[in-house]
Amino acid sequence: MDVIFSGIQPSGSLTLGNYLGALKNFIPFQETAECYYCIVNQHAITVPQDPKLLHSRTRDLAALYIAAGMDPKKSTIFVQSEVPEHALLGWMMICSAYVGEMERMTQYKSKAQKQEKKGGFIPLGLLTYPPLMAADILLYQTNLVPVGADQRQHMEITRDLAERFNHKYGEVFTIPEMWEPKGGARVMSLQEPTSKMSKSDENEWATIHMLDEADTIVKKIKRAVTDSLGHVHYDKEKQPGIANLMSIHSAISKKSYEEIEKMYEGQGYGTFKKDVADLVVGEMQPILDRYKELKGSPELDAILDEGREKAHKKANATYVKAIEAMGLYRK
Ligand code: TYM
C-alpha cells in the first residue's frame, strides 16, 4: 500500500494555488493509501510569525483540511510541533546536509533576499528548512508526496538526504517520489501571471484565498490581467494570463486545453472569465460553508488529538531505527 505524506504551512491565508496544487489532490489518496497530512507549523517559523496568529492559523488550516474533504477516519491529520520526532530527526538530517547544497536552494535565495530587504537578518531556519522537510517525509516511510511544482527542488534534496543516510548507516528510509498534479497545476498570480500565486502577495487582486466570499472571487477574476489578442488559447509565453485562467478552469472542470479552446472559439474573454469564476465559486463555496461550521467546534481537537497519537506511533518507530543506525543511543 502506498504511504502518502504532505503538509501545508499555516503561514497565511490559503490560496487557490495551495488548493489546486496540493490540498485537492490529497483527498483521492485516502481511498487507496495510508495518508499522513500535516500542518507544518515548524516550517512557518522559519520567518517571523505573530504567535497569536500562528496559533489561530494552525487551527484554521486543520478545519480547512477537513472542510476540503479530508476524512479523519481515513487519514491521519496532525500538527507537526506535536510530534517531537520531526524536530529530532530534522536535526539528524541537518547534520547529514551540506551548507553549499542548502545555499543553492532557490526558495532559500528568494526568501533570504526578502528578509534582508525587510530587516537585515536572515533566520538560520530558512537555510535548514529542507532537512526538516526531509525528516517530515522520511519519518513515515513515505513513498509518494503530493505537492505543487514549486516543491520539486525540496523533493530532490529529500531523496538525496535519504539515499546519503541509507548509504552511510544502512537501509532505514524509503526513498520517496514526488507526485504532481497533471499539467502541473501551478496557479499563477492574477495580476502578474508569470509569477506564482502566493499567500504573501501584497496586491490583494493577485490572489484568490480559499476563504474569499463568492463576490470577491468573481471581482478578482474579472480584474485578472489578460492580453489584447482576444482569443482563448493556451500559450504561456504570449498569453500567460489566459493560460493561467485556462489551467484553473481545467483543474476544476477536468476539460483539456483543446476542449476549453473549442468551447470559447469566436468569443471574447467576458464569457470565459465568468465561467472560470463560476467554476471556482462552485468548488469553494461548500468548502467555505463546512469550514465555518468546523472552525470553533470541539470535534476539531478530538481529530487532532487522535492524529497526534497515530502519527507519533509511526514516526517513533522510524526515529528509533534512525538513532540506532547512527549510534545515538546508550544501552
Ligand atoms: P506551502 O505551504 O508553501 O504550500 C503548500 C502546498 O501548496 C502548493 N502550492 C501551489 N501549487 C500550485 N500553485 C501555486 N501557486 C502554489 N502555491 C503553493 C505547494 O507546492 C505545496 O504543495 N515546503 C512546503 C511544506 C512542507 C511539506 C513537507 C510538503 C513542509 N514539509 C513535507 C510536503 C511534504 C511548503 O512550503 O508548502
Q: What amino acid positions are annotated as catalytic residues?
A: 111, 196, 199
Q: What is the pLDDT of residue 12?
A: 86
48-82 per-residue burial string, b: 16 or more CB within 10 A, e: under 16: ebeeeebeebbbbbbbbbbbbbbebeebbbbbbbb
Rounded to the nearest 10 degrees, the angle between the axes of helix 106-119 and helix 152-169 is 120
Q: Which band of pLDDT confidence, cut at 50, 70 and 90, is reported for residue 185?
A: confident
Q: Is the CB of 197 under 6 A from ligand 1?
A: yes
Whole-angstrom Cα distance, residue 222 to residue 213? 15
Whose alpha carbon is nearest atom 11 of ligand 1?
21
Q: What is the pLDDT of residue 117?
A: 85
Q: What is the pLDDT of residue 184?
A: 61
CA 288 to the chain's CA centroid: 18
Asked if 281 and 211 touch (Cβ cutoff 8 Å), the reply is no
Planar angle of CA 245, 198, 134, nearest 5 degrees: 115
CA distances from 179 to 54, 152, 199 (A): 28, 10, 22
Average pLDDT over the chain, rounded to whole? 95
* Strand bridging mode 34-39 / 177-179: unpaired
Q: Select from 3, 4, 9 the residue to mutate for testing ligand 1; criterion: most ligand atoms less than 8 Å from CB.
A: 9
pLDDT digits (tens, 9 = 90+) for 101-134: 999 999 999 999 988 888 778 999 999 999 999 9
Question: Measured in angstroms, how far is the CA atom of residue 12 from the centroid of ligand 1?
Answer: 12
Pick the CATH number of 3-184+298-326 from 3.40.50.1010, 3.40.50.620, 3.40.1160.10, 3.30.1490.190: 3.40.50.620
* Residues carrying CATH 3.40.50.620, the chain: 3-184+298-326
C-alpha cell at 81: 510541533
- 214-291: CATH number: 1.10.240.10
**DSSP code at position 163:** H
Give the pLDDT mean for 317-325.
98
Q: Select from 13, 19, 40, 159 the residue to mutate for testing ligand 1; criterion: most ligand atoms less than 8 Å from CB.
A: 40
Whole-angstrom Cα distance, residue 1 to residue 32? 7
Residue 277, pLDDT > 70, answer yes
* Residues carrying CATH 1.10.240.10, the chain: 214-291
Of residues 304 and 268, more confidently modeled: 304
Q: What is the pLDDT of residue 68?
A: 97
